[in-house]
């Protein structure tokens, strides 16, 4: 029987823990330094000890069999500092290794972070993480997973990394493969289009009937939820309630944070969080693993980190699985949104248009003209 005791490090607002709980796992303790996020955890997981600094934890709580860690991504994100795994935030992954080195009975370690970590500084973050796990005697597997795979209209790519000394992580992470996105509206003009209104010159984040990944906002705490251009020409940003739903949380999950922080801080909490259904899926597969045949998987080369790979007894190979483990019924933005959007301001819309016109990015037919018409009518 699988032991279901989970210790969540860098828990944020509890997305991994909520997903694991849906699979019958329960948290023995949590850890989160952000005061607002910690307050959400204390509200949503009553009676569970919540540490506020992983560096002060001497050992994992008694009974822990699974450690989860959505460790800080600020230094690894394409929109962050790009200082890498040794940055002032992301280096905290070392605290996971410190705790593991003093623990003998951990069955699983589950990490989550941004896809850009595979490429930043030639993948040095992955070099470091995989080498450290192997030094501690762990087998590992990772896979880039797209939130759209679980039916949510958010094109969000995240690396899901699973390690174990006693189990084969491939039997959890690779055995489900839908091979294609459930979002079939990639070329339709009759569906909403999500985009980053804060960009436009070098990237757009364009997503059809979906939004690009929710972000934490600016370094000074200004929210920057993605914009949505609707077929009728309206342009707006989703409400915080729909943003929570886009990550798989119940509405108002982050509402308790308003007890100690301004309401806009909820956007940071949601942007920094994980997509809950991914970890419901992971918990299901830990409960019911399936056989994986890696016999014909190609050897992992030193040139770059692919979207999926594994190491068993330090033999490293690439897996050819896709970013879509599941093909759940996709509910596009045209049907998903429950609450009115906030109209995009004239300044934001014209700023995007200015950057788009000075750059050389391709936009869908009619996109720029519709956005111009919108600004003319504000």
Same domain, 295 and 343: no
- Token output for 89: 């935030």
Q: Does residue 185 lie within any of the structural domains?
A: no
State the pLDDT at residue 198: 94
Average pLDDT, the chain: 92
Same domain, 348 and 258: yes
Between 90 and 297, where is the model more confident?
297
31 is known as an active-site residue: no
CATH number at residue 65: 3.40.50.150
- Token output for 87: 């940055």
Cα distance between residue 231 and residue 307, in whole Å:
34
Q: Does residue 205 lie within any of the structural domains?
A: yes
Same domain, 48 and 115: yes
Coil vs helix vs strand at 246: helix
Q: Does residue 157 lie within any of the structural domains?
A: yes
* pLDDT above 70: residue 188: no
Share of the chain above pLDDT 90, in %: 83
Q: Does residue 325 lie within any of the structural domains?
A: no
Q: Does residue 327 lie within any of the structural domains?
A: no
Q: Does residue 324 lie within any of the structural domains?
A: no
Same domain, 11 and 92: yes
State the pLDDT at residue 325: 98
Q: Does residue 95 lie within any of the structural domains?
A: yes
Same domain, 26 and 53: yes
* pLDDT above 80: residue 221: no
**Count of CB atoms within 10 A of residue 269's CB?**
25
State the pLDDT at residue 219: 60
The reported pTM is 0.93
Model confidence over 37-88: pLDDT tens digits?
999 999 999 999 999 999 999 999 999 999 999 876 454 444 544 444 454 5
Cα distance between residue 116 and residue 353, in whole Å:
27
Number of domains composing the chain:
2
Same domain, 257 and 285: no
State the pLDDT at residue 22: 96
* pLDDT above 60: residue 185: yes
Same domain, 36 and 64: yes
Same domain, 255 and 309: no
Same domain, 40 and 164: yes
Q: 34-43, 298-307, 340-349 — which is least confidently predicted?
A: 298-307
* Mean pLDDT value across residues 359-363: 90
State the pLDDT at residue 146: 98
Same domain, 234 and 122: no
* pLDDT above 50: residue 120: yes
Model confidence over 20-37: pLDDT tens digits?
999 999 999 999 999 999
| From 5, 31, 73, 166, active-site residue | 73
Same domain, 249 and 282: no
**Count of CB atoms within 10 A of residue 40's CB?**
27
* pLDDT above 50: residue 271: yes
Same domain, 129 and 260: no
Q: Does residue 154 lie within any of the structural domains?
A: yes
Model confidence over 135-162: pLDDT tens digits?
999 999 999 999 999 999 999 999 999 9
- Token output for 278: 């991914």
* Mean pLDDT value across residues 350-361: 94
Range of the domain at 209: 193-272+333-377
Tell whether the torsion through CA atoms of 37, 266, 333 and 71 is positive or negative.
negative
State the pLDDT at residue 90: 45
Instruction: List Cβ<8 Å contacts ≥24 apart for 257-266.
Output: 257/13, 257/36, 257/37, 257/39, 257/40, 259/39, 260/35, 260/36, 260/39, 261/35, 261/36, 264/217, 264/221, 264/222, 264/223, 265/36, 265/221, 266/240
């Amino acid at each position: 029987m699988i032991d279901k005791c989970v210790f969540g490090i860098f828990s944020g607002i509890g997305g991994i823990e909520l997903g694991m709980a849906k699979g019958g796992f329960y948290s023995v303790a949590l850890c989160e330094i952000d005061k607002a996020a910690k307050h959400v955890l204390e509200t949503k997981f009553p009676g569970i000890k919540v540490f506020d600094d992983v560096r002060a934890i001497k050992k994992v709580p008694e009974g822990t069999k699974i450690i989860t860690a959505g460790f800080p991504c600020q230094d690894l994100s394409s929109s962050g500092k790009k200082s890498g795994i040794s940055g002032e935030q992301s280096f905290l992954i070392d605290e996971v290794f410190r705790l593991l080195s003093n623990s003998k009975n951990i069955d699983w370690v589950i990490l989550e972070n941004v896809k850009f970590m595979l490429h930043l500084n030639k993948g040095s973050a992955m070099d470091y993480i995989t080498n450290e796990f192997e030094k501690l005697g762990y087998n590992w597997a990772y896979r880039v997973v797209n939130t759209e795979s679980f039916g949510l209209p958010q094109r969000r790519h995240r690396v899901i990394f699973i390690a174990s000394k006693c189990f084969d992580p491939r039997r959890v992470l690779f055995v489900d493969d839908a091979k294609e996105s459930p979002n079939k509206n990639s070329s339709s003009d009759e569906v909403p289009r999500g985009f980053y209104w804060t960009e436009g010159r070098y990237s757009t984040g364009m997503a059809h009937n979906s939004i690009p990944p929710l972000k934490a906002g600016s370094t000074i705490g200004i929210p920057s939820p993605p914009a949505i251009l609707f077929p009728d020409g309206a342009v707006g940003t989703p409400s915080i309630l729909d943003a929570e739903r886009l990550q798989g949380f119940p509405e108002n999950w982050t509402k308790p944070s308003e007890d100690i922080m301004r309401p806009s801080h909820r956007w940071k909490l949601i942007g920094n969080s994980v997509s809950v259904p991914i970890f419901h899926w992971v918990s299901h597969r830990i409960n019911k693993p399936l056989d994986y045949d890696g016999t014909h998987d190609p050897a992992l080369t030193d040139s770059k980190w692919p979207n999926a790979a594994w190491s068993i007894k330090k033999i490293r190979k690439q897996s050819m699985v896709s970013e879509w483990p599941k093909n759940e019924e996709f509910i596009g933005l045209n049907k998903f949104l429950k609450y009115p959007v906030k109209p995009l301001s004239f300044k934001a819309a014209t700023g995007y248009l200015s950057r788009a016109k000075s750059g050389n990015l391709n936009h869908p037919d009619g996109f720029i003209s519709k956005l111009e018409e919108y600004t003319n009518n504000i």
